[in-house]
Amino acid sequence: MESITILQSLKITFLSMSIVFISLFVISQILELFKFVFYKKELETAATVAENNEYKEIKELDEELDLVAALTAAVLASNNQNNAKLRIKSIKRVA
């Protein structure tokens, strides 16, 4: 069995680490180039996402209104009251 010196092991370590970092740098540069190659599709996707966010906000608002209606009905049912005298003027988020 052949033994290696500390100097040789340090050279091997340095060479191996250099190969790893260089390969990671090359991969990073390739990923940066993807921004330029696929930039047009990214703009189209952003427009679609903006439309989807608007739909999501409307859906969340509807869900909040449903929640307010359910909570109001629960309060009225627990107090055995008729809802003829109750009117919601505004809905504000407390927290």
Sketch the domain layout of the chain as residue ranges: 1-37, 38-95
* Residue with the larger pLDDT of the pair 85 and 31: 31
pLDDT in tens, 53-67: 655 556 666 777 777
Q: Is the pLDDT of residue 42 over 60?
A: no
Average pLDDT over residues 22-39: 90
Residue 48: predicted pLDDT:
62
Average pLDDT over residues 77-89: 68
Pick the closest to residue 72 from 57, 55, 89 (CA basis).
89
Residue 63: predicted pLDDT:
73
b/e map 56-71, b = 16+ CB within 10 Å: eeeeeeeeeeeeeeee
Which structure tokens are listed for 14? 């340095």
Residue 12: predicted pLDDT:
96
Q: Is the pLDDT of residue 71 over 70?
A: yes
Main-chain phi, psi angles of 60, to 5 degrees: -65, -40
